[in-house]
Structure 1
Amino acid sequence: MSSDDEGGEEYLFKIVIIGDSAVGKSNLLSRYARNEFNPHSKATIGVEFQTQSLEIDGKEVKAQIWDTAGQERFRAVTSAYYRGAVGALIVYDITRTTTFESVGRWLDELQTHCDTTMAMMLVGNKCDMVDIRNVSTEEGKSLAESEGLFFMETSALDSTNVDTAFEMVIREIYNNVSRKVINSDTYKAELSVNRVSLVNDGTGASKKSQGYFSCCSR
């Protein structure tokens, strides 16, 4: 490992949130990034992302978390959305069985568009709505185990497990990258190039039009 790996080095990881429309992806992101929840949120228009920071092993790790921006309604999530992603949250709504049945299709999309090692978590959202639950916790766990995914049930409404879910994925990405860096200086160089391309993806003005870009220490 090079000397650059010591001290306060920065990492920037791109994470995507995918899943059927209205499963709560945008509210999960706003709850994690800004501790906000909008019960009347409408379908996302345009590309939205938030940037959050964690300190892991003395290094600043930033996660740039992208929301699918309503494209999932048209089954037209583009390859550009997935480009550079090293982590994903696949979200379904525990009250709507159809959104759980769609998980396989979203996993296929990830496999098609992402050729790197990914940290992936299956997220059963809206766990506060126990009275109208249609997908059991056991079903979620079983699917996650069969696909080799992390699993967690969350509630963007009351914050249950939201921070934990995102931070588990971020830490797993860091672990994946750390293992690769130890074994490959070339991978480190590729990561640095990828990091620059993410940070400089568009002008400041276009970032504002694309969505949120706030950097908050947690």
Structure 2
Amino acid sequence: MAGGDEAAKAPRRRSGRPRGETRTREDIMAAARGEFQERGFDKATIRGIAAAAGVDPALVHHYYGSKQDLFVAVMELPPEIPNLVRNAIAGDPDTAGERLARFFFGVWDRPNTISPFLTLLRSAVTNEQAAAMLREFITDMMVGPVTEQVAIDHAPIRAPLAASQMVGIAMLRYVIGIEPMKSASVDQLVAIAAPTLQHYLRGPLPDSAVSRGETAGSQAAPR
């Protein structure tokens, strides 16, 4: 009987194979992606991420440090994006706007690639770390390649204008969910956005607006 009592008091082990360090890290990362995407940076918590991953919150801190460190790890964006943008808009400059729109919305409509971008958009509104990462993404991965490939003049203002068009539609479609943007097909989005993008990239711009925009940009740039 004593042996039976000892067995009854012994802690139960979970059935199945232990997860191990690699799987635990992957589970935490997957849970963090989901929490950040759904709640944004400010509302997501280490405790909530740990619960979603099925681990103790201490393990989240052990593997990734602070919530900000975990957010940076989750938001690691594919380094090949600038080259993909360059390849997408290479060709006839008179149709660059259409190619850029098709590439951009085509990428965003893929379930396996949209998650980090949604997280950035949702979190950038309330968190400076996310806002800085979104600015870096737009500047280094979108504005730079577009400027190199397409802009005929006034590049400092043309590429950000094009980026504002695409990011604005993405916010309405994927984050806020405003119709008809939410349910439009990629072809419909391209038809809507391409003419404006083409104008921003290659069309005439008012001299006064261009001068003010470029002056403001040069003043804001670090020396």
Q: TM-score, normalised by structure 2?
A: 0.29
Q: Which structure carries more relative contact order (alpha carbon 8 Å, separation 6+)?
A: 1
Higher strand share: 1
Larger Rg: 2
Q: TM-score, normalised by structure 1?
A: 0.30
